[in-house]
Amino acid sequence: MNYSATQEALRSGASTHGRMVGRPIKKGAPMILVRQEIGDVLRDFRLQKGRTLRQVASKASVALGYLSEVERGQKEASSEILASVAEALDTPISVIMREVGDRLAVLEGIESMVPDALPDDFGAGLDGELVSQR
């Protein structure tokens, strides 16, 4: 699911993988479970790649049942597990975490504050050289 589709699905309260996706967080609203968003993103990437849970678990050297629980948001995955699963999906972990962050921003109601691209004139006043601060 791409960012725009994610935004629309989350805003409309659409069902994603058998669970209701929440509306943006308001004071007193239920807490967002980051592990649930991570699991949903991992599942979405796995399905986009046309891979089974068994294939990804085997390639990542993760127990099938454990990966299933991570995808369902029932277990917190360590950074090492996330890196192994990302590698098994042939997807940079930064791409996975960006999608998680985008989804969280939508749920928090701040997606309009997170730009997808830099303005055209960004860096216009720079002379083209990178400066190192070491």
Domain that holds residue 7: 3-113
Q: Where are the alpha helices (DSSP H) in 3-78?
A: 3-12, 34-48, 53-60, 64-71
First to last CA, the chain: 40
Residue 60 forms part of a structural domain: yes
Residue 78 forms part of a structural domain: yes
- Three-class SS state of 19: strand
Domain count, the chain: 1
Q: For residue 18, what is the domain's CATH number?
A: 1.10.260.40
Nearest to 96 by CA among 107, 105, 83, 109: 83
DSSP state, 123? T
* pLDDT tens sequence for the chain (134 residues): 554 555 555 555 544 444 444 444 456 667 889 999 999 999 999 999 999 999 999 999 999 999 999 999 999 999 999 999 999 999 999 999 999 999 999 888 886 555 667 677 777 766 655 544 44
